[in-house]
A and B are shown apart, each in its own frame.
Chain A
Amino acid sequence: MSGSRMLAVERLRSPLLEPVSFELAAGECLPVSGPSGSGKTMLLRALADLDPNRGDVRLDGQARDAMPAPAWRRKVTYLPAEAGWWAETVGAHFADWPAAEPAVVALGLPAECRDWPISRLSTGERQRLALVRALVQKPRVLLLDEPTSGLDSAARTVVEEMISACLAAGAAALWITHDDEQARRLAGRRLTVEQGRVSEAPL
Chain B
Amino acid sequence: MSYIQLELTDLAVAALLVLLNAGLSIALQLKLERQLVIATLRMIVQLLLVGLVLTTLFALVSPFWTGCAALAMVLFAGREIMARQERRLAGFWAYGVGTGCMLIAASLVTIFALTTPVQPEPWYNPRYALPLLGMILGNTMTGISLGLHTLTSSLVRDRVAVEARLTLGATRREAMLPVTRSALRSALMPIVNAMAATGLVALPGMMTGQILAGVEPAEAVKYQILIMFLIAGGTGLGATAAVLAGGLRLSDRRHRLRLDRLAPPRG
Contact = CB atoms under 8 A, between A and B. Distances in A.
Interface in B203-254: 252, 254
Interface string A155-199: 000000000000000000000000000000000000000000000
A201 interface: no
Interface in B162-193: 162-171, 178
A50 B167 contact: yes
Nearest to A133: B168
Interface string B144-174: 0000000000000011111111111111000
Contacts of A134: 167-168
Interface residues of A, number: 24
A142 to B, nearest CB: 11
B256 interface: yes
Contacts of B254: 49, 69
Contacts of B167: 48, 50, 73, 77-80, 134
27 contacts: A49-B256, A50-B167, A50-B256, A51-B256, A52-B252, A68-B255, A69-B254, A73-B166, A73-B168, A73-B169, A74-B168, A77-B167, A77-B168, A77-B169, A80-B163, A80-B164, A83-B160, A84-B160, A84-B161, A84-B164, A84-B165, A86-B164, A86-B165, A130-B164, A134-B167, A134-B168, A137-B168
Given A68-B255, A70-B171, A73-B167, 7 more contacts: A49-B254, A50-B163, A52-B252, A52-B256, A79-B167, A130-B164, A137-B169
Interface of A: 48-52, 68-71, 73-74, 77-80, 82-86, 130, 133-134, 137
